[in-house]
Amino acid sequence: MTAASVHTRRRPRINVPAGSFLLLLLVILLWWLAAQLSFVIPTPADTVGALVSNFGDADYRRHVEATAAAVLVAFLVAGLLGVLLGLALGLSKWVRIIFEPLVVGFNGVPKIVLYPVLLPIFSLSGSKIVMGVLFGLFPILINVAAGIRDMPAVYWKLARSVNANWWQVLTQIIVPAIRRPLLTGVRLAASLSAVGVVLAEFFSTRFGLGRVVLRAYGNGNYPDMMATILLLISVAFIVSLLLWRWERKTR
């Protein structure tokens, strides 16, 4: 093989934004085709129209706000709790021996079955937040604990040799050392908190987009249903993508 051919092979000019844009066009085209074949599926144009008119409605905006607030609170609580429990699980051998089977087991449970139990305790607005926390908690907890266990042992020796206090060890060594698994956990928690909240809203809530989707389905108002689904998918998709890019940029 000549040097020139190596050179040309090494430079496949792929334009990533253009590729993504083409993929998006393809998805819209397939959607439009599906809409022609089935009367249940509204066209992309009808769906976007329904979404725009929905946002003109104060009642709809109230549903959006209710879901957004619940997801945000659930994500923050899951993050805080997940980091604290993950630290305990990663740092203490005894905590790990006692609680690891519990964590692994409970992570495998379909948490939504607990919703009827949560309702009388946390009421309608509180229960879906708790559900979001239950969904979002585990990826952070598990990633933080695993990240700490994978830390090179010499970091601890280094910390001790310079007499670092626990706050310095936490902020100067542990958090930067586990930054990648931590960010993976944050990304997964962001999407799973939303899953927990919206899932709970499907079953029972006063305000929330899960309920809006279900009501539109019941009324046979498919453009409205599809518009809300599109909103949920787009927001979750973009948030996950941005968090993923941040994760990859992290050294």
Partner 1 sequence: MSQPGIQISDLSVEFAGGDADPVTAVSGVSQEIDAHRFVSIVGPSGCGKSTLLNVVAGLQQPTAGSIMIDGKPVTGPDRRIGLVFQEDSTLPWKTTTDNVAFGMRILGVAKRDQQRRAQEMIDLVGLQGFEQSYPAMLSGGMRQRVALARTLAQQPSVLLMDEPFAALDQQTRILLGAEVRRIWRQTKQTVLFVTHDLSEAILMSQQVWVMSYRPGRIIDVIDVDLPDDRDASVVSTPAFNELQNRIWSTLQQEAMRGFVAESTAA
Contacts with partner 1 by CB under 8 A lie at: 152-155, 157-164, 168, 172-173, 176-177, 179, 251
Q: Which is nearer to partner 1, 88 or 159 (CB)?
A: 159
Q: Which is nearer to partner 1, 15 or 163 (CB)?
A: 163
Region of 220 on the Ramachandran plot (φ > 0 left; ψ -120 to 50 alpha; else beta):
left
Q: Which is nearer to partner 1, 58 or 154 (CB)?
A: 154
Q: Is residue 83 within 8 Å of residue 140, measured between CB atoms?
A: yes
- Least separation in angstroms between CB 155 and partner 1: 7
- Least separation in angstroms between CB 165 and partner 1: 9
Q: Which is nearer to partner 1, 104 or 170 (CB)?
A: 170
Q: Which is nearer to partner 1, 160 or 245 (CB)?
A: 160
Q: Which is nearer to partner 1, 16 or 154 (CB)?
A: 154
- Least separation in angstroms between CB 182 and partner 1: 12
Cα 39–Cα 47–Cα 52 angle in degrees, nearest 5: 155
- Least separation in angstroms between CB 113 and partner 1: 41
- Least separation in angstroms between CB 103 and partner 1: 28
Nearest Cα residue to 191 out of 114, 228, 136, 231: 136
- Least separation in angstroms between CB 190 and partner 1: 23
Q: How far apart are CA 196 and CA 1, in angstroms?
A: 55
Q: How far apart are CA 131 and CA 77, in angstroms?
A: 11
User: What's the burial of 96, exposed, middle or buried (CB within 10 Å: 0-12/13-18/19+)?
Assistant: middle
Q: How far apart are CA 232 and CA 137, in angstroms?
A: 21
